[in-house]
A and B are shown apart, each in its own frame.
Chain A
């Protein structure tokens, strides 16, 4: 069975600082990995995804994530935080060739201070 752990329910950064949101997963088969962002009172929006190939994937709004198989991690980063990045971020995993039902992490709230 899959599981996703997002370390830290809240992460606080200053504007212009590095953003690092952590995601670790467990999966018995090669995973597909996703990050979604949710702004207040809105639905989730796909930020980026890893399926196969290059382990460093770039997404929208300057975010990127690196798949590290040895660490079973898929951490989300952004070099310089903007106030507009304040939102809830969800990591999700699906098993390649498995069910189309992803397992979501519990989410990390990103707070950006001016």
Chain B
């Protein structure tokens, strides 16, 4: 069966510090991968998605970036965090040709 992991689970970082969130999927190959952000009391905002290694599409211009160095690994990064980057970050995957998504447990990021 497929499993998706995210770490860390929680993170408190000062403004201006770098960020690296990691997501890995097990039990499948060539998944579509997604990064979402959920601000407090709000819906899901798609940040990045990837249909293959090295293929990243950005949905929202911001100080975040994403990379996919391996087939089942998706990394969200920032060089300098802003207060507005606080939120709940969710990684998700879907199988090729399928539309339903499967979400990781999320990372709660607080920028102070």
Instruction: Please report whether the interface of chain B is mostly helix, strand, loop or mixed according to DSSP.
Output: strand
Nearest chain A CB to B101's CB is how many angstroms away?
7
Q: For chain A, give the interface size range.
A: 20 to 34
A 73-108 contacts with B by CB, 8 A:
90, 94, 100-102, 104-107
In Å, the complex CA distance between A94 and B32 comes to: 15
Contact B100 A43 (CB under 8 A): no
Are B44 and A104 within 8 A (Cβ)? yes
> Contact between B102 and A102 (Cβ–Cβ < 8 Å)?
no
12 A-B interface contacts by CB (under 8 A):
A41-B88, A42-B106, A43-B90, A43-B92, A43-B104, A43-B106, A44-B44, A100-B51, A100-B94, A102-B99, A104-B44, A107-B43
Given contacts A90-B44, A100-B94, 18 further A-B contacts (CB under 8 A): A32-B99, A36-B103, A41-B106, A42-B105, A42-B106, A43-B6, A43-B106, A44-B44, A46-B101, A90-B43, A100-B32, A100-B49, A100-B51, A100-B99, A102-B101, A105-B43, A106-B42, A107-B43
